[in-house]
Amino acid sequence: MAKYIFVTGGVVSSLGKGIASASIGKLLEARGLKVSLIKCDPYINVDPGTMNPYQHGEVYVTEDGAETDLDLGHYERFTNALLTKDNNITTGKIYYSVINKERKGDYLGKTVQIIPHITGEIKENIKKVAYLRRVDVVIVEIGGTVGDIESLPFLEAIRQLRLELGPHYAINIHVTLVPFIKSAGEIKTKPTQHSVSKLREIGISPDIIICRSEKVLSKEARDKIALFCNVDREAVITAIDVKYIYEIPAMFKREGLDKLIVRLLNLRGEDRGLGAWEKLVLKRLKKSQSKVEIAVVGKYITLQDAYKSVYEALIHGAIANDVKLVTRKIDSEDIEKQGVEKYLKGVDGILVPGGFGQRGIEGKIKAIEFSRENKIPFLGICLGMQTAVIEFARAVCGFKKANSTEFDKNTKYPVISLLEEQEKVVHKGATMRLGAYECRIKKGSLAYKAYKKERIFERHRHRYEFNNHYRKVMEERGLLFSGVNPQKDLVEIIELKNHPWFVACQFHPEFKSKPEKAHPLFREFIRASKEFSKKK
């Protein structure tokens, strides 16, 4: 029977609960245990797919095509857990299911209520993951901050679940903030005390408290938290700010967190150390000297989380090439207003990530033209591939005002357009081309050099496609279609023949990159950028 770790957060949001949960997963795997992770999101959207990146940050896509919270990205980057649609539970999903059951008559004769029906549905969804994956430990992260109205049913559900499971089958970890007040020169434990007392009001007593802090907690501060929050002193874990998130598992290990968890849950897990993770990731991250500067040209640049997996995959590419990564984040609308030179001069590589809608498109096209003409390494992802096609159609093929029908319905040259099956779609939720699809790679191409195989599977999230009507003419002008989906003959990867490294793909490679094993396209993109930087 699986054991459970419930992770809650207090005081403020953005404490890094997701990374803390992922790090715990990593530490347990390092002890030979099999884990899975679940994120519970208290919002009413069924999934984050219909939310604006400014509201939610990146939408992370799983292999089976679920649009999920970005924390699942951390879980997959840190652990070997295979995540699916079952690993992200939202209030919307729970209510949707309960209401459907009610209409079918599953609760006939009963009044359907938050307790026991909503909480029951949450518990079933959590237990389902343990059952399906046959893991030793399921880490369940509850989104939001304790004290929010929205998360109450989730907290009640985990309270009940722990009680039903009995001793040594579940623990609660609470992540809080211990602020440092500069004027007083002191750290303050009061917000943590209040947050824990809020949690205890609803029947949950944390076993471990992870304290996010700028400074290492003094012995007195630890003692105070332990006393007021009713936990052992060794269960007060300090999580000080680190430069790279990949340092966190080792930091937790030094604090004795894994040992404590194994003891509290009565788990048999022999400590094998972090091994390759420390050697490969940390040493190389910290040691590398030469710098590579990559421009990311998008429209949600001000928001740190909007391209989360892209930024992480770039770091993985840098680790694989022993270079230090510098990212220059550029709003494509600024390029439209003030010209491309001002923003892109001096960079070693240019990346245009995915996106939706017309705003900022022309700036992205200018950035792509700049990389094509100056032979600067380029990686285009999803909308980045579509805009690369538009740029090529306009500048090289002479198709004036060529466009995607997403931005100009009546364009004379619809080089990117909707498939017939997408034309019929009316609902917006979960109706894009989503998840893993096959792609066949042409031998001898840059893509083949990166993947070193012909058959790959990559994750998608888009509606529009390359319009095959233009394939022949573009091929004649020097565009190589190096990756194609064989089932539907859809263009998946394009490259430029007379350019050192210009590759763009319709899928999202960033979702499958890991710190110990950079995605082949990111690894090669950074390698090409490193070479470009040396020649400069």
Q: Find the shortest distance in angstroms from Cβ 406 to ligand GLN.
A: 6
Report the alpha-carbon distance of residue 225 to residue 230 in Å, rounded.
Answer: 8
Helical packing angle, 152-165 and 119-133, nearest 10°? 60
**Residue 382 a catalytic site member:** yes
Q: Is the peptide bond before 116 cis (omega within 30 degrees of 0)?
A: yes
Does residue 93 interact with ligand GLN by CB under 6 A?
A: no
Does residue 355 interact with ligand GLN by CB under 6 A?
A: yes
Structure tokens at 390: 């538009």
Query: H-helix or E-strand containing 388?
Result: helix 383-395
Residue number, 132 or 425, with CB nearest to ligand GLN: 425
Report how far Cα 20 is from the mean position of its chain's Cα atoms. Answer: 14
Are the C-beta atoms of residues 507 and 380 closer than 8 Å to each other? no
List the one residue out of 378, 315, 309 whose CA is nearest residue 525: 378
Report how far Cα 225 is from the mean position of its chain's Cα atoms. Answer: 32
Q: Find the shortest distance in angstroms from Cβ 514 to ligand GLN.
A: 21
Sign of torsion over alpha carbons 439, 445, 450, 452: positive
Point out which residues pair with 404 in neighbouring strands: 416
Report the alpha-carbon distance of residue 354 to residue 381 in Å, rounded.
Answer: 6
Stretch in the footprint of ligand GLN (CB under 6 A) among 89-97, 99-107, 209-217, 458-466 = 458-466
Does residue 328 interact with ligand GLN by CB under 6 A?
A: no
Mask 363-402, x = binds ligand GLN (CB under 6 A)?
A: -------------------xx--x----------------
Q: Find the shortest distance in angstroms from Cβ 423 to ligand GLN.
A: 13
Residues 40, 382, 439, 505: which is the catalytic one? 382
Q: Find the shortest distance in angstroms from Cβ 404 to ligand GLN.
A: 7
Give me the residue whose beta carbon is nearest to ligand GLN: 354
User: Residues 354, 363, 377, 483: which binds ligand GLN (CB under 6 A)?
Assistant: 354
Q: Find the shortest distance in angstroms from Cβ 386 to ligand GLN.
A: 6
Q: How many residues interact with ligand GLN (rule CB under 6 A)?
A: 11
Q: Find the shortest distance in angstroms from Cβ 58 to ligand GLN.
A: 10
Report the alpha-carbon distance of residue 161 to residue 199 in Å, rounded.
Answer: 16
Does residue 463 interact with ligand GLN by CB under 6 A?
A: yes
The residue type of 534 is K
Residue number, 21 or 506, with CB nearest to ligand GLN: 506
Report the alpha-carbon distance of residue 175 to residue 18 in Å, rounded.
Answer: 10
**Residue 519 a catalytic site member:** no
Strands 490-496 and 502-505, by their bridges, are antiparallel
User: Residues 462, 499, 523, 530: which binds ligand GLN (CB under 6 A)?
Assistant: 462
Does residue 461 interact with ligand GLN by CB under 6 A?
A: yes
Does residue 407 interact with ligand GLN by CB under 6 A?
A: no
Does residue 518 interact with ligand GLN by CB under 6 A?
A: no
Residues 156, 510, 519, 524: which is the catalytic one? 510
Task: Indicate left, alpha or beta for 490 from its phi (over 0: left) and psi (-120 to 50: alpha).
Answer: beta
Q: Is 352 helix (H, G, I), strand (E, B) or coil?
A: strand
Q: Is 265 helix (H, G, I), strand (E, B) or coil?
A: coil
Does residue 138 interact with ligand GLN by CB under 6 A?
A: no
Does residue 48 interact with ligand GLN by CB under 6 A?
A: no
Report the interface residues with ligand GLN, using CB under 6 A: 354-356, 382-383, 386, 406, 461-464
Among all residues, which ones are annotated catalytic?
382, 508, 510
